[in-house]
Amino acid sequence: MSDSVTLGLHSNGKLGVMHIGVLEDGTAVVAGDVHKMEDGEEYTFPRTGVTVKRAGDEFTFSRG
């Protein structure tokens, strides 16, 4: 089973026990790791295995 959370710009939350967030400039943050996201991009953070997909101002964080 996979978990997912969708966030907008300048917001934060939790995916399981990991803190996640999105900065105003479109940078995704997972457990302290950061990656600047372009619209339509998908990126997997290697340390946590969390995948982020950006669609406009929506960022979907998932794992599992």
Q: What is the pLDDT of residues 7-62, one digit of tens each?
A: 999 999 999 999 999 999 999 999 999 999 999 999 999 999 999 999 999 999 99
Domain count, the chain: 1
Q: Is the pLDDT of residue 63 over 50?
A: yes
Q: Is the pLDDT of residue 1 over 50?
A: no
27-30: strand order across its sheet: 11-15, 18-22, 27-30, 33-36
Q: Count the neighbouring beta carbons within 10 Å of the beta carbon of residue 18.
A: 18
Confidence of residue 64 (pLDDT cuts 50, 70, 90): confident
26: β partners: none
Global pTM? 0.94
Q: Which domain holds residue 19?
A: 3-63
C-alpha 39/C-alpha 26 separation (Å) is: 9
CA atoms within 13 A on the CB side of 52: 28
